[in-house]
Each structure stands twice: as structure tokens, then as C-alpha cells.
Structure 1
């Protein structure tokens, strides 16, 4: 199989077993693993030069976690998926990152083919601010056979984005049978109730083909960990407090996980056709979520008393739709294995507001708004070739090469007029409260394309020494070309010990979201006198404001990466890997801090005609170096009459440092405005440097129990006054049990966060009158506390 590879790390040293049962493990061991460390399919996952985690679908669901990205976080410590609240669209599509880098530094594949990104741009305080990422939760867990995580740069193999690594999601491919699962649970606090029904089934196509269908329906209610609002809510009555102050429900904010309803259907098919195999896969998902903004008090000039006499909480209720499809044909041509494929993916993010108003329209304002739609789509076409040639020392040289074409598009559609206009009523602020709609000036419909060529060679020169090299050339329609390379090697010292190393360059092309996103919206900013509304403009690099300030077009980020590792594969089944890495990235793209007219005459002149109080931009501004170590170990113990026990340990460390800051000439001297302490801390310390897990899975007959101790190290956040808060390390314990009632029926139950751990509370100065008790933008394991669930699975 092409575009998938087979040279990677030892299967047994990954954070999870490929399968939980001996029978399925045997099947997997004989199967050619579709790993991402190479495009060549000459070996299984036990022979690799770079670390790869392989997580089976069963392991993803072992702890009852219902979201794909969250399950992956608990299986791979170097993968971070923090929780956020009151961060606009990021409450619906949360950022995820690998090895402490930005969310858009990780390439996501499905069945070895590139997956499209979300149309959303993270803007408000989360990890990866200014980036976009693939929405992993749009892919239902029920469709996943396994996930392969390459913790190494791979731009020379796959092109842009693969700086931190590659996540390859392999879809189920059974030709018969299937399962259906019902899951339900809630938090210790009695909120966050959710239920999920999901399953998959397979059908035979021809003699060896298959058509596998997976679907899910997932409903989840919100959680709320807000503090009570002590502020005055109503205007004074004859100089005295309104009597309603005594009875007002002061739990008026929503600080917690968003509620959502998610529906998804995926398929994976293959059938013999002529001398080759035709294949196709894809899926659709639709998610409607709801989260709160800041509460508008009755006395606030953003409220209209005739509509909301007690004030109101604007509700952001976006609808997110993803669709994708690939078709391809694998065949042999003159001794070459050939894979030709084409695919299309699209993400649409439609902003909707409920329980809102446009105060500038007055008492006649509507309360629901269509605030605009973001859409991105991606078209891919590839053809790959591979074969073996005789080489020196009686070895074979594996050669792969290919050509790819990709086109990315981005569109912004304005919201309805009432979502952005200023109606002039009583000097009230304009636009829909909670999220100001996109104006016609923000509308854009742009695209870019690129062509890539790659060549890869690999060779087992001796029984102990393996080497590989790859080079890739990419040419983009907007900024030019890039060439990346990679070399790797592995030497087996003996039957138990091996050393491995890689060196590579990489790049990440600026996304179309970063190139073309533009909007002016009302944000609440703390300038030292409390949160105040400002008309904040995000201007793309083709805007007049950017041109006036000398901000040129975005260029690609470029990286240089090195890794070295030690592998131990013991006779008694004990395995251990230790891999160290360094990733230096030049010209990282950031979303700058705010510039205001007071900062310089050039800024004042540029903003004069924009209608914004301040401006921010995407700029190539920062050089960084990230260093880290990953340790993975596993051991299976046979306990005779007591069954078997599998122990697994995984630990990840990463540290990012800022090497240099480079700004446009006209903005020289404004470093503290464009990249202030808040952003420096967010880039370097908002993600735990240390994370890990220790898990034990015990099997005795029809009963399987699992306990996992998950470690999230300390992290640091900074507020706009330059005050840093360190949030301490925490252990989160998960416990679950699964019992096979019959050959077809399995019951499971468990607890996530058994001991009800919460992050440290924020400093009082950052709690916004005690309402935001916990960090609402970067909590690594969330702030919902303990959660218990039950699950029933029927296999057929």
C-alpha cells in the first residue's frame, strides 16, 4: 500500500497495544501496518527509524472517553487537547497540538491521505492562537481501526504542516459483522449529561473486497463551573438598589464545556477491479454546539430593558459541517506498485447567535442572528510509485516517488445586516452581542494551489543497519517554492538493543485561513480598568491597513529537526524506547497583539479609515527552538490462574524557547505590543512541559479491568497586566471494567477523574469578580471534575 509506509518504531514499545486480545494481536502482527514513518510498504511497524505510537480503536474507547481528540490525548502524552470556555468558535472546535508546538504543525491523514483543516481560526486566548487545525472530533471513534502517531518531522514525505509529526487515522475495514454501542454518563456535579449511540458494520464486496459503514449520534449537555456574579445588576431606583438585586440568580455566566449535538457517518470500501484494487472512503459530520459569552447586565448599555429586563447571556450556537471523500486505484505497472487517488474535503463554520440583540437597533431588535460563515475546502490529487531494485551487499533498495497537486480555497460570507450594523439608537454599540457579524468588507473568496514532487529511498544494508533518505520539492502559486529533505538510520546493536536517529528539514505554508481571514468585532479587553468593549480588527495581509504599515505577504515557516533514540526489546516482553528531539522553527506565524492609534503616528494613520479601535495581523515574527524527550515502556505479565496484566508507561517532556523576534520595519520598537508577555507565555509555557501516564490492564476470563494514572505537569498563563500564574501539576485517575456477558453482549462501566481533580484556581485578580475561578482557555484536562458512565455493546 502506498502513501502509508511501513518503516517506523517497534509496535510493542508504543503507548498502547495494537490489540487487547491474543487472537487479534496475532492477526495484527501478520498484517502490514499502515504506519506513517515512510511511504514505503516493505516492513511492519517493528523495524522503524522513528518513534510511532499505535493506538487501537479498542484502546481509544477503553476509558469511556467519547471524543476522538480527547481519547488520543490520554493515549499519547505528547498530544495536548486543552479545554476552553468563552473563547467564541474555539469552544466548538478546540485546538490540539503535538510535542508542544502549534496545532497547525501537525499533519493529519486518513488512510494515509491528507485531511482538510477546519475553517475556524482560533482568535481568543487559546493555545495556538492564530492557527487552524483539523477537527479530529468530526471523525467518529466508531469508524477508527487504529491511530498512528509519528513523532518526527515528515515534510519531505508529505509536504506542508508535518513539522511536529503526523497523525494517521486508519478506518475500519471489516467485510462482515459489526457492533453497536450505547454510552451514557454525567459529571459528579450532575451536569454534562451525555449519551452516545455509535457503531459500525461491514459487507463483502466481491471475493476480497469490503464496504464498512460507521455512524454516531452524540448529545452532550453543558457543564458550568462559574462563580456567582457579585456585581450590581440593575439601574438604581431613586438612588437606591433595585429590590430585584436580592433575588437575582447570580449564577449568570456559563464557564464550562459547551453543549453539542453531533451526527456523523463514515465509510471505507475496497474491491478488486481488473488487475488492481479500487478503493474509496470518506464521511460527513454535522455538529451544533452552544456556549456562552459574557453576561450583559440589565444596567449595561449593551442591553435593552424592553427586551431583557433582567439582562441576558448571549449564546454562541455555531453549526459546523465537515465532508470528505477519496477515491483511488492501486495496481502494478511494469514492476511498479502504483497508487493513483483524488480527494476533496470541506469545512464550514456558520456563526449563529441566540438570546442576543443589537442594542443600536433598540427595542425592535431581533434576538437571533446569522453572523456569517467561514468555509475552507481542499482538493488533492496524487500518484505514487514504488518498487525494489538490487543494491550493494546483496540487499534491495526500495524506491518511492510521486507527484501531488493540491488546491485550497477560503471563503468568508457576511452575516445578515442586523448582525453588524449600528442602527444609531441611543448611542448604543452596534452588532449582535456575543459575536459581531462579519461585515461585507470582510467577505473573501480566494484560493491557492501547489504541486509537489518527492523521492524516497530505503535500504537494509546489513542485517543490523537500515538507512533512508527523502527529498520533496513543492511549488506554491502564492509564495514560491520549498525543498525539504530527510535522512534516517537505525543500527541494531544486538537482539535487544538498537539506536536510531533522524535529521530533516520541514516547512509549513501559511494556511489560507491566515492569508485571508479578516474581521472587525467587539472584544472585551482589560487595559487595567476592567473589561471594556473595543472594536478590534483582524486584518489580512492584502488589506490596506497592512499595506500602510509595511506588512508584507506571509512566507512559509521553515524547520530543522533532529532526533536520536534508544530501543530495548527484552526477551521477556519488556520494551523501552527513549527518544530525544530538537525542532528549530524560523519565521513562525503569529497573530499579533493589538496596535492602537496611541502606539505610533503610522498606526493612527493606517487605522483612521478602518472603523477599528485597534488592529492585529498575521506576521512571520518569531524564531523558536523546542527540545524534548519521549519515553515509552510496556510489559505483559502472565499470571497463570490470575489471568494476564499489561503495564504501560509513557512520558513526554518538551520545552519551547524564543530565539528571536523579527518585525516589519514600520513597526520596529513595538515588540511589546505585537508580541507581548501574554503571547510569549502562551507560546512557551501554556502547555505542560511534562506529561505522562501509567496504565494497567488486567484480563481474567470474561472480565477486563483497567486503571490509568494520567499526569499533567505545571503550566503558566499571563494576564494583560503582566502577572503570571503557575498552575500546579495534577494526577488524574481513570478506572473502568468490562465484562463479556455473552459472546455478543458486553457491559462496561467506569469513572474518569476518579478523585475529582480540578486545576488550581486563578489569582483573584484574574477571576473577573470571582466568576472565572479556573483557567478558562488552557486547562489541560478541563475543569469539570469527576465523571462516571456506563456502556453496553452488542457485537454481531
Structure 2
């Protein structure tokens, strides 16, 4: 019966704000979470830090997007804002412990989640990475989110360098809820409405399916400054066009995108006996968004005056479709508990560009384009087995082992011909403005497979000491094998104080996106004399290209990590829990998307690029060794106020710092370091997100009222620009909400995010594009929309 009990290791102090105290969790629900497979563990017995964020805590943030809510619930998680960053405006990157977005593994119900097809090409956090789109998972479907803040590649495989995020779906077999939330910013824009419906259905005595439908519509925000530049060509007599006086100079869009997202998720199971269960879960989501590129003035050489006599703002309007389905069967075979599962996931990102043109086609150019589609597909097969054996000191040792197989497929489909060709109209720039389409030469459809096997041991050898070990080997069809291991332990010094530690090696296999993404696009550089934008063709070439091979760029290899962590855990009978965890992550052969090397850099490079349409080339390569160090501190206190209700207080703080230890480039490019990985990119990698982040939260419950007050701290950060580095100061934001339980089923809520309308520091005058870009376009940790207020009604039955 030991392996029937579903209590697994969870975080020592439940680092998320508003985290429940250990006694409350044990009393209310015994939770199976990531990080361990051993039974009979309690909430504060973990050897590694894990955050538990419940659905109630996510809802209390008032955020309408899963990733954004998680940012305010877990200080170690960052979800920075970006604007005018192509497809990244629709699928924003996020990071854990200051690492790259693709160095965190995401699971749903303990099974690997597929990644987005998008590659972040602009100046966002994690340039060159592809991350899992958490916003494709509706908040209405989520029961809780678990964050393992420790390396776990030996347990779960590739990507788990910074940690693991596990999204647990709702599993109620009956009842449900209907919720409606609406709100807008203080400025009167960004209006949004979200409707969520959740229903549990029991289709047999021991079978259920839990269904969720969510619709979310959000209008754009805009915090651009007015464009003071001359818009129209001079008249024949050399005077200004009179239209300059009436032109609407709010011509850029800098802020949130328009956003429409619809999703349908399910989670179900049929229990046949105490040791036999069939389960399935998954969902589909569809999203459309619209964001702006750079405005093309009427006088701009990229404009066709007959088509847009007043200029135009190209808009990127992608359509994102996401599917997933996992089925599995849990059963006992002798003394072994087995779990066999199969999962499939896909994500497609269709680039659509509207309100634009291909200037080289002249007045006959279309004004909207299908610029091509990126698609990522994953198929996972897993077999896991575990059992207990008698061990030393009359204890039991858990032995777990398993095998996995994954097929990853990446596909690029070209856009319509007009989106990428260059016509002959007045020697104008080719391709669709805003985002140039994928050409036939960029098309690819390729697979890779990998097989992994693992063995883990866990043992509570005494009342005071717990230890665990894991070993995993994975073999990939495109670069070979990797072995990773993990050792962790915990010792209870007293009934209240414990010390915990772990060390592990990990790896992240280069994603199929990094291996096979390719495109030649038109970029525009300002002429140093005239200031006009001059088109240049820049190519991103993949590892199969003769260009990268000619430049001496070797095939991508996995990133290899070695991590250490040491922590203290304190619990008291008075409702206080505290944890302090220090960590270091050494990462070798970190993959970057390089800067561009130009054909005029050397005769050798010019000869290599001669047979392409590109004036410059960039590519993915294992170029960086880095070290990340950090500290996570958490305090949580439960107070019984008697007739005044009860109060839960939380303080969470996260610090981390990344340093570049070494840069290694191909010999032919050794003199091109400033082009491939310049000071600007190094600053963005090491200083682009706040080193310090934290919050202080208070939850007061009195009768039918629940009040949440949260103060969030975002430390300073630095963005590297081509001319200089700019440091943006630290900020505090304040969120407050109140929930009233009007009836047994109906709850009414109202709240304000960023109560005091805090904005990030403005860009300096010599770095704000003539005053148009008032705030930093990327990396702002809480955005620049200002205050936002909302109301919500939720009926639970």
C-alpha cells in the first residue's frame, strides 16, 4: 500500500505568495507534485524548493493571462513586457531564475508540454530561444501550478536547467463555475473581457471528465509619443506640405496588442480499481493578435505614395493554433506501479501582415500578406515504473525507472510569393513591410528523435535524514547522447529547523527551432548622411546550410549545466514558515543567436555569401559559458485575529546575477566578436532583467469578505543600446482587491492593479527615437500601461 499513497515531496515553505501553511495543506489535501516520487512526504519535508500556487492565488492577482499571473505569484519567475518585437508581441518570452526561457521545462499533469513554433528574433529576453506558451493554457482550467526551482534534467530530461513548471488541471467530477471579468486601464484603453466556464461531468461511478472553455478578448494600449518628424515630401517650391499641420502624429503603436484567445481543455479519468486507471487530458487554443511595426512616413522610400498618401503603420497579425492530447494507463504489475502514456502536441504560428505593402511591386502591391507559417510538433511515449524495497535502518527505498521516446518535427511553410519577392518598381525594397515573408528557400520539414532512460532512488533512512539520487541517459538522432545525474538530501537539525542541499548536472538539447530555422529578410539601416532607411538583406542560416559550414560554425551541441543549491527551512507551531535557498548554475556551451557578419567584413566572408541573396548572415552557435548565482528567501505567517478574522502574510524575495565566463567563436570568425556577440548583447543577457524581485502580500478573511493587498518590487535593470547602456530604476507597484461571497455560489470581486499608476523610467532624450518611444520597448518587468481596474463575478455550483 505504500506506493498507493499520493503524497510526494513539495516545497518547504511554498514560496508563492499567499502559499498555504504546511498544516493547512496536510489537512485540506494531500498533493502529488514534481521533484520527487517518494510517498509519505509532508509540505515542509522537501530537499529542494518548490512553489505551490493554487487557482485561488492566481485569481487573486486579478491578472487575466496565465503567464502574467504567475509572474506576480512567484518572484523567481519573470514575464517582461515587449512591444514592436515582431511575433514576440504575441508570444512573449518568460524566464525562471534569470535563465533563458527555453531552460525551464514545462509539464502539464506531470507530462512534458510542447513548445511554441516561434523563434524570438528581436531584442527580447532570451533572443534566439523558443519557449512554451503558458497563455495557451486557460487560467479557468488550472487547479494549481507547481514550480520546482532546481535543476532536474536527471529526473525529467532536457530543458530542466533552471527548474520545472508543472501545470495541474482541474479534476472535479461534478459541479463547476462560470466567471466573467472585465476591466480597463486608467487611460481608458486596454479594455478586456474574459469569460470562463468549467464543468465536471461524472460519466460512470468512477469515471469523470472536467471541461473548460475560456474566451478572452483584449483591446490594445498605446503609450507612444507624438512623431515630430516631417511626414510629407516638400512641395515643388521647397515649402512644407500643409498637411503637416493636420497630420495625426500619434502614428506608432507602442503597447499591448489586440488579443483574441479561445480555448477548450479537458481532463478526465476512468478508475477501474485501486491500482488501475485510464486517464486523458489536453486542449486546443486559437489566438489572433495585432501589433504594430515601425511607421512608414509618406515621404519614406519604403512607401508607395499612391497606395498610402499619408504613410502607413504595418501591422503583424499572426494566427496561433495550439493542440495537445495525452492519454495514459496506470496499473500495478506485481509489486511495481506502472504508468504508460502517449502524448501529442502541436503549435503553429502563421505570420499575417496587414495594412502594408511590398514597395518593389509598386501601386499594384497587395496590402495584406500571408507571410508563411512556422509549426512545431512533438510526440512523446513514456513508461514509468516504481516500487519499494526494504532498506537500511528498517526504512524503505523507492526505486523508480523509466524509458521515454520523443519525436520532434519542425516545419516552415513559405508565404505567398508577393510577401518575399523583389519587384522592379523604381528599385524599391522587396518583401512585405513590417515582416518579410518566408521564401521557398526557407521551407523545411524535418524530424529528430531521442530516447531516454532513467533510474532514481529515494530513501527516508531515518526520521531526520532523507536522500535521493537520479541518473538519466538520453540519445538524440542529430547530435548523440548525454548523461546527467542529481543528488539531493535533507537533514532535520531540530523539529523546527532543517538544512537541505542538492547538486546535479543537466543539459538542454538544441531545439529543432534553433537547429532548422532559416530565413532571409529585409532589414533597414539608417543612412548616416540622409537619415533615410536603406534596405539590406539579412539571412538567418541553420545548421544544415553550406553558409554556416563555410563560416566554420559547427553543428549545435547541447548546453551542459552543473548546479549547486543549499538551503535552510524553518517551521513553527505558530504558523510561521521560512526558507532561504542559495544556488549556483554553471552553464557551458550556451546557445545564442549571433549578430550579423557582413559581406564587407572580409573577402573570405564575402565569397561565402556571394551565392545567396543576403548581405549579411547570422546563425545559432554554442558560444557562451555563463554562471548564474542567486538567493531565494520566503517568509509566511498565519495569524488568527479572533473576531476580526484571520490574516495571512507573505514576504518573498529573489536575487540572481548572471555573468559571462567565456566566449568561444569559430576560428574564421574570431575577429568578429563585436559583430557576433557584442557588448549590447552581453548587457541584455546579464543585466536585462532585474537582479532583485520580491513582494509582500497580505490576505485578510473576515466573514464573507476576502481582501488581498500586494506590494511588488522590481529592481533596476540595464538595456544595451547601440550607442550606450541605459539603466532603468527600481519600482514598487501596489495591487489591491476585495472579494465578497454574496451567496453560497456567487462571489463578486473588484480590484486595482498598479494602484498608484507607476510607470518605468522614461528613455533618455537622446535614445527615444525623436520622443516616439517614451518607455523601453523591451524588458520592462511590469510593462508601461499604468493602473488598471477590474470587476469580476464568479458563480460556483
Q: Which residue matches 1:661?
A: 663
Partner in structure 2 of residue 127 of structure 1: 125
* Equivalent residues in 2 for 1:553-592, closer than 5 Å: 553-592=555-594
Matched, 1:683 2:681: no
Check the 8 A contact 2:347/2:377 in 1, yes or no. yes
Displacement of 1:694 in angstroms is: 0.3
SS state of the match for residue 362, structure 2?
Answer: helix
Aligned to 1:789: 790
Counterpart of 1:480? Answer: 480
> Per-residue deviation at 1:547?
1.2
Distance change in 2, residues 1:313/1:466 (3 Å): same
TM superposition score normalised by structure 2: 0.97
Aligned to 1:540: 542
Contact 1:527–1:720 (CA under 8 A) maintained in structure 2: no
Write the distance in 2 (CA, Å) between the matches of 1:715 and 1:43: 39
Cα deviation for residue 571 of structure 1 reads 1.7
What corresponds to 2:647 in structure 1? 645
Partners of 2:393 and 2:714 lie apart in 1 by 49
d(CA) in 2 for partners of 1:266, 1:327: 14
Per-residue CA deviations over 1:190-220 (Å, capped at 9, x if unaligned) read: 1101011012110113223321001100000
Deviation at 1:423, TM superposition (A): 1.4
Aligned residue pairs total: 791
What residue in structure 2 maps to residue 429 of structure 1? Answer: 429
Task: Report the TM-score when normalising by structure 1.
Answer: 0.97
Matched residues in 2 for 1:433 and 1:401: separation?
53
Matched residues in 1 for 2:671 and 2:27: separation? 59
Q: How many Å separate the matches in 2 of 1:28 and 1:381?
A: 33
Whether the aligned pair in 2 keeps the contact of 1:352 and 1:369 (CA below 8 Å) is: yes
Given that residues 17 and 697 in structure 2 are in contact (C-alpha distance below 8 angstroms), is that contact kept between their aligned partners in structure 1?
A: no
1:532-562 superposed Cα distances (whole Å, 9 cap, x missing partner): 5422211111112111101111000000000
Distance apart, 1:692 and its partner CA: 0.1
Distance 2:355 2:14 in 1: 51
Q: CA deviation at 1:317?
A: 0.2
Say if 1:205 and 1:270, in contact at 8 Å, map to a contact too.
no
- Does residue 1:105 correspond to 2:103, yes or no? yes
8 Å Cα contact 1:648/1:695 also seen in 2: yes
SS at match of 1:350: strand
CA distance change for structure 1 residues 68 and 526 in 2, over 3 Å: closer, same or farther? farther
Distance 2:712 2:116 in 1: 29
Task: Give the deviation of 1:719 after TM superposition.
Answer: 0.8
**Aligned counterparts of 1:635 and 1:175: Cα–Cα separation in 2:** 33
* SS of residue in 1 equivalent to 2:406: strand
Mapped pair 1:768 → 2:766: no
- Residues 391, 397 of structure 1: 8 Å contact kept: yes
Query: What is the CA distance between 1:765 and its match in structure 2?
Result: 2.3
Aligned with residue 615 of structure 1, among 614, 617, 630: 617
- Cα distance in 1 between the residues matched to 2:449 and 2:36: 25
Could you give the per-residue CA deviations for residues 604-630 of structure 1, whole angstroms, max 9, x where no partner exists?
A: 111112111211110000000000000
| Mapping for residues 90-169 of structure 1, pairs under 5 Å | 90-169=88-167
Is contact 2:14–2:52 with CA below 8 Å preserved after alignment? no
The equivalent residue for 1:245 is 244
* Cα distance change of structure 1 residues 528 and 75 upon mapping to structure 2, 3 Å threshold: farther
Distance 1:88 1:627 in 2: 32
Distance, in Å, in 2 between the alignment partners of 1:47 and 1:280 is: 30
Report the Cα distance in structure 2 between the residues aligned to 1:680 and 1:585, rounded to whole angstroms. Answer: 15
**Conserved 8 A contact 1:206-1:272:** no
Give 2:326's aligned residue: 326
**How big is each residue's C-alpha offset from its partner over 1:724-754, in whole Å with a ceiling of 9 and x where there is no partner?**
1000000010010000111111110000000
For residues 701 and 756 of structure 2, the distance between their equivalents in structure 1, rounded to whole angstroms, comes to 24
Structure 1 segment 178-197 matched on structure 2, within 5 A: 178-197=176-195
CA distance in 2, matches of 1:710, 1:426: 54
Counterpart-to-counterpart distance in 1, 2:716 and 2:19: 31
Q: CA deviation at 1:521?
A: 1.1
In the alignment, structure 1 residue 310 sits paired with structure 2 residue 310? yes
After superposition, what is the alpha-carbon deviation per residue over 1:216-238, rounded to whole angstroms, capped at 9, x for unaligned?
Answer: 00000000000101111111111
The answer as to whether partners of 1:456 and 1:471 remain within 8 angstroms in 2 is yes
SS at match of 2:506: strand
Gaps of 5+ in 1: none
SS in 2 for 1:176: coil
Q: Distance in 2 between matches of 1:134 and 1:420?
A: 28
**Distance of aligned partners of 1:207 and 1:28 in 2 relative to their CA distance in 1, 3 Å threshold:** farther
- Residues 528 and 657 from structure 1, CA distance in 2 versus in 1: closer, same or farther, beyond 3 angstroms? farther
Instruction: Return closer, same or farther for 1:134/1:294 CA change in 2, 3 Å cut-off.
Output: same
- 2:58 is matched with 60
- Map 1:598-613 → 2, pairs under 5 A: 598-613=600-615
Shift, 1:35, TM fit: 1.4
SS at structure 1 position matched to 2:360: helix
CA deviation after TM superposition for structure 1 residue 306, in Å: 1.2
Secondary structure of the 1:428 match is coil
Q: What does residue range 395-434 of structure 1 map to in structure 2 within 5 Å?
A: 395-434=395-434
For each residue in 1:144-175, what CA deviation from the matched residue of structure 2 results, as whole angstroms up to 9, or x when unmatched?
A: 00000000000000000000000000000001
Aligned to 1:724: 725
User: Structure 1: how far apart are the matches of 2:131 and 2:198?
Assistant: 27
Whether the 8 Å CA contact 2:26–2:42 is kept in 1: the answer is no
RMSD between aligned residues: 1.6
CA distance in 2, matches of 1:45, 1:362: 67
Q: Conserved in 1, the CA contact under 8 Å of 2:17 and 2:651?
A: no
For 2:186 and 2:265, the matched residues in 1 are separated by 33
C-alpha distance 61-518 of structure 1, shift in aligned 2 (>3 A): same
Cα deviation code 1:450-484 (max 9, x no counterpart): 00000000101111000000000001000000000
* 3-state secondary structure, aligned to 1:46: coil
Counterparts of 1:3 and 1:582, CA distance in 2: 34
